[in-house]
Amino acid sequence: MKIKESADVTANSGEDHHVATFQFHGPGGRAFGEEFNIKFRVEKKLDEVDFYNKAIMLFQEVSQDIHAQHISFEKVVEVLKKAQGNANLAKELLKKMGESSILAASSQFEEMNLKDDDEEDLYA
């Protein structure tokens, strides 16, 4: 669903949300099935330049952290979008991602060492 740039911000409409009504149409253009409603909110327009400046600053911060050096700029943008532009929330999510990948890598390393030890016992 595309929303026009001229759409009224939900907060200015006096309503909690907007409602869009949809229905499926067959090859002949005839509607079938029940209508369904989608509730949505229109927030203030996202300034892309501002958003990407936030992403750059966040990437620089995160890349200085030893636990998160492997995180790419694209991943920072993706997480910042999921956090709806909230840099603090995105930073926390990225830190958790960095820590979890380090834990996963260390557990893989431990598994590899255990396998190596087992193989040595078999041939000893």
What pLDDT digit, counting tens, does each position of 52-78 carry? 898 999 888 887 775 556 778 888 888
Single-letter residue type at 26? G
83 Cβ contact partners less than 8 Å away, ≥ 6 residues apart: 89, 90, 93
**Is the domain of 27 the same as that of 67?**
no
**Is the domain of 52 the same as that of 112?**
yes
Instruction: Name the residue range of residue 40's domain.
Output: 1-45
CB 15 within 8 A of CB 41: no
**Is the domain of 35 the same as that of 56?**
no
**Is the domain of 40 the same as that of 79?**
no
**Is the domain of 58 the same as that of 104?**
yes
**Is the domain of 58 the same as that of 118?**
yes
Q: What whole-number distance in Å separates Cα of residue 43 and Cα of residue 8? A: 9
Confidence of residue 49 (pLDDT cuts 50, 70, 90): confident
Single-letter residue type at 19? V
Q: How many domains does the chain have?
A: 2
**Is the domain of 40 the same as that of 68?**
no
The neighbouring-strand residues paired with 39 are 19
**Is the domain of 41 the same as that of 88?**
no
**Is the domain of 24 the same as that of 63?**
no
**Is the domain of 99 the same as that of 61?**
yes
Higher pLDDT, 70 or 118: 70
The neighbouring-strand residues paired with 120 are none
Tokens of residue 122, six digits: 């078999």
Instruction: Report pTM.
Output: 0.49
Q: What whole-number distance in Å separates Cα of residue 57 and Cα of residue 59? A: 5
The neighbouring-strand residues paired with 19 are 39
